[in-house]
């Protein structure tokens, strides 16, 4: 391609070198490696030149099936990769400067789970036979539903992080290097006790894969999403794994009457700014009847 500054067929070989040099967790590094495949496939067709990053952003913008959040994740992976190629002197100049990501509304585009969804899930879990696989599912659901854990926080848990006697767990939160204690809900303690009594893990990862090709390895966030997705499909629940956290936070804000500082102690947000978004959504939803009533007498 005209003005090509690096051969696209070299990119696949270079991704491990670029991402291997990053000061990030293994989980984050693997996420970048997975996402950069999309950019590499794009580059195989269009080559790499001084406008590639901007052109890739425009290409992502044309994909209607990707959410804004997904587009930004691919774009960030491409930026980190291209900046890494520049550090390796494989690209003579930074080609990602002064190019912004996609603008994303801070309101939640995908609603969290509703009470009716949780009711379906509760009945489903109650009827499950106590097989190892079902106990793992119930343990995951308990941590999402009663503790509001993020997916990455759940898969990072080790057996040693769980203290059932004192009803606590030590988790490594999003973007954090150290672990922090959380108090476990009695329902979570009960389900985790059943789970651990079944598997009898003494150390290592709390949640492990049961598939043939990676049996015994730590469960990944992708695997967790697939597990929950299958259950949601069976129960005809329109939602995602993150919907648990949305439900958890919304439930707390309603119960605590908007005491966001107290809610943040359970949701573990570093600031209450995001909780204000949740709270605004709740206030707006509760005010809808009054809004509707304003125009009740108008007919068209």
Enter the pTM of the model: 0.68
> Which of 195-199, 211-215, 229-233 has the least mean pLDDT?
211-215
State the pLDDT at residue 194.
Answer: 96
Chain centre distance of CA 37: 19
Residue 59 has pLDDT above 70, yes or no: yes
Q: How high is the mean pLDDT of the chain?
A: 89
Phi, psi of 47 (to 5 degrees): 75, 180
Q: Do 21 and 160 fall within a single domain?
A: no
Residue 2 has pLDDT above 50, yes or no: no
Residues 262 and 275: beta-carbon distance below 8 Å = no
Q: Which of 154, 270, 121 is nearest to 221 (CA)?
A: 154
Q: Do 144 and 43 fall within a single domain?
A: no
DSSP state of 211: S
Q: Do 122 and 33 fall within a single domain?
A: no
278 within a domain of the structure (yes/no): yes
Q: Do 182 and 41 fall within a single domain?
A: no
Spatial distance between the Cα atoms of 132 and 125, rounded to a whole number of angstroms: 13
299 within a domain of the structure (yes/no): no
Residues 263 and 256: beta-carbon distance below 8 Å = yes
Domain boundary pick from 68, 87, 106:
87
Q: Do 32 and 153 fall within a single domain?
A: no
Range of the structural domain that residue 77 is part of: 8-87
State the pLDDT at residue 1.
Answer: 39
Q: Do 132 and 81 fall within a single domain?
A: no
108 within a domain of the structure (yes/no): no
Residue with tokens 């966030």: 221
3 within a domain of the structure (yes/no): no
101 within a domain of the structure (yes/no): no
Residue 10 has pLDDT above 50, yes or no: yes
Count of domains for the chain: 2
94 within a domain of the structure (yes/no): no
Spatial distance between the Cα atoms of 171 and 157, rounded to a whole number of angstroms: 6
User: How confident is the model over 90-139, as pLDDT tens digits?
Assistant: 888 899 998 988 876 554 445 689 999 999 999 999 999 999 999 999 99
Spatial distance between the Cα atoms of 95 and 78, rounded to a whole number of angstroms: 11
User: How confident is the model over 257-293, as pLDDT tens digits?
Assistant: 889 999 999 999 887 877 888 888 888 888 999 999 9
274 within a domain of the structure (yes/no): yes
Residue 124, domain CATH: 1.10.443.10
Q: Do 160 and 260 fall within a single domain?
A: yes
Spatial distance between the Cα atoms of 252 and 198, rounded to a whole number of angstroms: 32
95 within a domain of the structure (yes/no): no
User: How confident is the model over 63-101, as pLDDT tens digits?
Assistant: 988 888 788 889 999 999 999 999 989 888 899 998 988
Residues 160 and 251: beta-carbon distance below 8 Å = no
State the pLDDT at residue 271.
Answer: 78
The share of the chain scoring above pLDDT 70, in percent, equals 93
Q: Do 138 and 22 fall within a single domain?
A: no
Q: Do 74 and 156 fall within a single domain?
A: no
Phi, psi of 96 (to 5 degrees): -105, -5
Q: Do 64 and 131 fall within a single domain?
A: no
Q: Do 77 and 122 fall within a single domain?
A: no
Q: Do 127 and 72 fall within a single domain?
A: no
């Amino acid at each position: 391609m005209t003005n090509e500054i690096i051969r696209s067929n070299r990119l696949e070989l270079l991704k491990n070198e670029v991402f291997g040099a990053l000061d990030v967790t293994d989980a984050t590094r693997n996420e970048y490696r997975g996402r950069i495949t999309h950019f590499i496939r794009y580059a195989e067709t269009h080559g790499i030149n001084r406008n590639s990053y901007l052109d890739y952003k425009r290409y992502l913008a044309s994909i209607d099936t990707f959410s804004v959040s997904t587009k930004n994740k691919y774009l960030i992976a491409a930026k980190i990769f291209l900046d890494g190629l520049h550090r390796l002197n494989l690209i003579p100049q930074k080609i990602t400067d002064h190019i912004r990501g996609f603008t994303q509304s801070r309101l939640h585009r995908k609603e969290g789970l509703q009470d009716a969804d949780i009711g379906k899930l509760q009945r489903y879990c109650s009827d499950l036979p106590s097989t190892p696989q079902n106990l793992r599912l119930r343990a995951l659901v308990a941590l999402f539903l009663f503790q509001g854990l993020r997916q990455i926080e759940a898969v990072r848990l080790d057996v040693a992080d769980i203290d059932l006697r004192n009803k606590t767990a030590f988790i490594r939160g999003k973007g954090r290097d150290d672990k922090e204690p959380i108090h476990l809900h009695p329902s979570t303690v009960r389900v985790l006790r059943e789970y651990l009594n079944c598997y009898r893990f003494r150390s290592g990862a709390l949640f492990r894969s049961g598939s043939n090709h990676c049996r015994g390895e730590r469960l990944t966030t992708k695997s967790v999403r697939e597990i929950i997705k299958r259950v949601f499909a069976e129960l005809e629940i329109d939602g995602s794994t993150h919907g648990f956290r949305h439900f958890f936070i919304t439930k707390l804000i309603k119960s605590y009457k908007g005491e966001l500082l107290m809610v943040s102690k359970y949701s573990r947000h570093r600031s209450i700014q995001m909780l204000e978004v949740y709270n605004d959504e709740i206030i707006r939803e509760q005010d809808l009847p009054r809004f509707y009533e304003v125009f009740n007498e108008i007919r068209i």
